[in-house]
Structure 1
Amino acid sequence: MIGFEGAIAVEARGHSGGLAMLWKNKEKVTLNSLSNNHIDVTVEVHGLHKFRLTGFYGEPNRAKRYETWNLLRRLSTEPLSPWCIIGNMNNVLNQLDKRGGRLYPNHLIQGFQSILDDCNLHDLASEGYQFTWERSCGPDERIEIKLDRALINDSLMAQFAEAKLTNLEISTSDHDPIFLEPMVVTNVISVAHFRFENAWLKEPMCKKIMEDTWHMNQGKTLQDKIVICSVVLQKWGKEITGCFKNCINQCKMIMKMVKGRTDANSRKLYKEESKKLKEIYSQQEIFWRQRSKQLWLREGDQNSKFFHSSTKMRRKINHITFLANNADVQNSVLLDDIDTKEVKDALFHMHPDKSPGSDGMSPGFYQKYWSTMGEDVVNVVKKFFANGTFDKHLSIL
């Protein structure tokens, strides 16, 4: 009667609970599991990978809220695929999700936050009115809470990059409905290019890779050395910047295990892991700082920025042999040969996190290993000023 070919329902328990899921094409949805608190299905959309959709109702009894966490944890162990959980979670993620009445119990907030972290789920930001549930507590007081939301994993976020969740304000229920629009974005196949991560600069192995590349390839051009070095660094670097979360969790686990012990070995281990954790956090900060839009998108700099810096005081246009004001001294300075100090100063005046050029190397890479590669860089710059040619595959920042 209402135009749906498929439907699954879970009966309400008294005045609470009750779930229903309806869809128009019965061949496109497969039931995985259900309970009093969830309906989990696999949805097949033409032209896209299958994804999981879970209608959810969190345990309303706070004393039994752990049952909600356990259910989410069990569901997260299913085969990894794009996954969305949507419904009434009966919990908030922070105190800003509640207005009026007493503060929400912190242990429940922390429990909800922890389970999302354990299950690698993200709270999808919503548009519209902030709260989805309300209750009047007298003529002048009202309690409002954001209980209804959508949680998604990384895979679904990638597949539906512009998914939109809206809180609809018109409802006869104490809960306002929420509306999820997947907004599928067609993926464009792109070639991944190497990019040096400044977080690697804190790793001794990075220095060794770079120095070995230079020493083993004497006589080759700067471009060739950069290409060889980037191939090795890309393979090695994935193990460093690709597992920040695992490394952080491992450090925390060890620190928690030995914390409070008074023997010398435990104190030593705690100190070592604490130092390691700080180092990982520092690398992670550098990793994301290097991706900051303020630095990466402010200017599309490649080759030109280096030479704008190095020629700031020596505007050499074609062959300058005479200045209009006959300032012979200034003219002489402009026509002097490039020296190592001038090149180094120009390079070290650049922010180490500035975006790289086509060679993938950041200013931080050249600055950190100047003692090894500086001569090669200077030679390339001198060649440019001598004959006006420059290898297009190098950025030299």
Structure 2
Amino acid sequence: MSILSWNCHGLGTPWTFQFLKEIVLQKRLDFIFLSEILCKQVTVEKFQQAVNFEGKMVVETQGHSGGIALLWRFQNEVTLRTFNKNHIDVFVKNKAGDEFRLTGVYGEPDRQKRKETWDMIRMLSSINTGPWCLIGDMNNVLSQADKQGGRPYPQWLIQGFRDVIEDCSLINLDLDGYPFTWERGAGTVDWIEVRLDRDLVSTSFLNIFPNVKLINIEVSTSDHCPILLEIHKASIVIQKRVFRFENAWLREPMCQKIVEDVWSSGASVSFYAKIKECSEILSSWGREITGSFKNRINQCKKTIKLLKGRRDSNSIAVLKC
């Protein structure tokens, strides 16, 4: 099961629409919570049809800002509970028999009204004590480490948010990947990065789903990065790697030499043993020649993080992966 949360800053733009469609396909999403959709319900319905999701709940934009939407893949697995301009609360019961409560939260952007969001979470907490997952743009941080650049975050906001989490007995999930989810002024002396998007869960939720992982997708068409909650009820089984011959190896003279050496050695060795030995040697050699694309991508991401961390306003690094 997977849940995506994203402050998309406008669902109606073609690039945002396409970006979300690709994520749904790649990550096989079951739930999508969107904030700052900046559109009417008809736009959300077009997206719902494009990704073939059966259920939705939309709180339309008020004026020129806001708007939230929750979409889910299977209509009969979700029961709507409560909603307003800052949250959508549903009860989920899937085919596997898992039952939990899911709440998409869009924290009040106005700091002077932030207490309204905290009171809302407390109110929602008092309704039910079962397994609970809150995900979204909370518009708040839990420590100064959640912010980089600019002035220190007001301590009264940090403490107020911490008190809510403690009062409601919630657990803040660690974020895999880049530690910040929102930025402004990238590459300038005024560059600010903050972790505003997060997932809060109850202890009972973790008892049912001990293998949860919150991931910063990092790539985005908005000033916010999408966050992805992957939920696994059972331990993930790692399958044994299967040997696959790469056509790119045929351009390397060493490939033919490896095959010839294996085949000409050990005349008493069986046919299948030679195939096994040949595949093992080719696999080891091939990793050095063509490399692992996944490892290359991960290395590129690490390099990007390092470049972001330097925050050098005097030069712009151009990264070629």
TM-score category (smaller protein): 0.5 to 0.7
Structure-2 residue corresponding to 1:106: 155
Which residue identity does 1:75 align to in structure 2? L
| Alpha-carbon distance in structure 2 between the residues aligned to 1:4 and 1:139 | 40
- Structure 2 gaps of 5+ residues are 1-48, 236-321
Matches for 1:54-73 after TM superposition, within 5 Å: 54-73=103-122
Deviation at 1:183, TM superposition (A): 1.2
Summarize the Cα distance change of 1:147–1:15 in structure 2 as closer, same or farther, 3 Å threshold. farther
Deviation at 1:168, TM superposition (A): 0.8
Is residue 147 of structure 1 aligned with residue 196 of structure 2?
Answer: yes
Deviation at 1:87, TM superposition (A): 0.3
Structure-1 residue corresponding to 2:183: 134
1:242-288 CA distance string (max 9 Å, x none): xxxxxxxxxxxxxxxxxxxxxxxxxxxxxxxxxxxxxxxxxxxxxxx
Deviation at 1:185, TM superposition (A): 2.0
Matches for 1:243-392 after TM superposition, within 5 Å: none
Is residue 159 of structure 1 aligned with residue 191 of structure 2?
Answer: no
Is residue 16 of structure 1 aligned with residue 65 of structure 2?
Answer: yes
Which residue identity does 1:170 align to in structure 2? V
SS of alignment partner, residue 77 of structure 1 = helix
Deviation at 1:78, TM superposition (A): 1.2
| Alpha-carbon distance in structure 1 between the residues aligned to 2:204 and 2:97 | 12
| Alpha-carbon distance in structure 1 between the residues aligned to 2:188 and 2:199 | 32
Which residue identity does 1:49 align to in structure 2? D
| Alpha-carbon distance in structure 2 between the residues aligned to 1:143 and 1:84 | 28
Structure-1 residue corresponding to 2:86: 37
Deviation at 1:138, TM superposition (A): 7.5
| Alpha-carbon distance in structure 2 between the residues aligned to 1:72 and 1:140 | 36
Structure-1 residue corresponding to 2:128: 79
| Alpha-carbon distance in structure 2 between the residues aligned to 1:120 and 1:67 | 19
Summarize the Cα distance change of 1:97–1:14 in structure 2 as closer, same or farther, 3 Å threshold. farther
SS of alignment partner, residue 211 of structure 2 = coil
Deviation at 1:141, TM superposition (A): 2.8
Contact 1:159 1:185 in 2 (8 A): no
Instruction: Identify, as 1 or 2, the structure richer in helix.
Output: 1
| Alpha-carbon distance in structure 2 between the residues aligned to 1:165 and 1:173 | 19
SS of alignment partner, residue 91 of structure 2 = strand
Q: TM-score, normalised by structure 2?
A: 0.56
Contact 2:82 2:88 in 1 (8 A): yes
Instruction: Identify, as 1 or 2, the structure richer in strand.
Output: 2
| Alpha-carbon distance in structure 1 between the residues aligned to 2:138 and 2:61 | 16
Deviation at 1:23, TM superposition (A): 1.1
| Alpha-carbon distance in structure 1 between the residues aligned to 2:68 and 2:124 | 17
Select which of 217, 222, 246 maps to 1:168.
Answer: 217
RMSD of Structure 2 on Structure 1 (CA): 1.4
Deviation at 1:105, TM superposition (A): 0.2
Contact 1:90 1:148 in 2 (8 A): yes
Contact 2:77 2:95 in 1 (8 A): no
Percent of aligned pairs with the same amino acid: 52
Structure-2 residue corresponding to 1:177: 226
| Alpha-carbon distance in structure 2 between the residues aligned to 1:131 and 1:155 | 27
Deviation at 1:24, TM superposition (A): 1.5
Structure-2 residue corresponding to 1:121: 170
| Alpha-carbon distance in structure 2 between the residues aligned to 1:87 and 1:73 | 16
Summarize the Cα distance change of 1:129–1:15 in structure 2 as closer, same or farther, 3 Å threshold. farther
SS of alignment partner, residue 40 of structure 1 = strand
Which residue identity does 1:87 align to in structure 2? G
Contact 2:103 2:134 in 1 (8 A): yes
Which residue identity does 1:114 align to in structure 2? D
Matches for 1:228-243 after TM superposition, within 5 Å: none
Report 1 or 2 for greater relative contact order, CA contacts < 8 Å, sequence distance ≥ 6. Answer: 2
Deviation at 1:16, TM superposition (A): 3.4
| Alpha-carbon distance in structure 2 between the residues aligned to 1:16 and 1:174 | 15
Structure-1 residue corresponding to 2:99: 50
Deviation at 1:15, TM superposition (A): 4.3
- Structure 1 gaps of 5+ residues are 187-397
1:8-30 CA distance string (max 9 Å, x none): 11112344322111112111100
SS of alignment partner, residue 81 of structure 1 = coil
SS of alignment partner, residue 228 of structure 2 = strand
| Alpha-carbon distance in structure 2 between the residues aligned to 1:19 and 1:66 | 19
Deviation at 1:158, TM superposition (A): 0.7
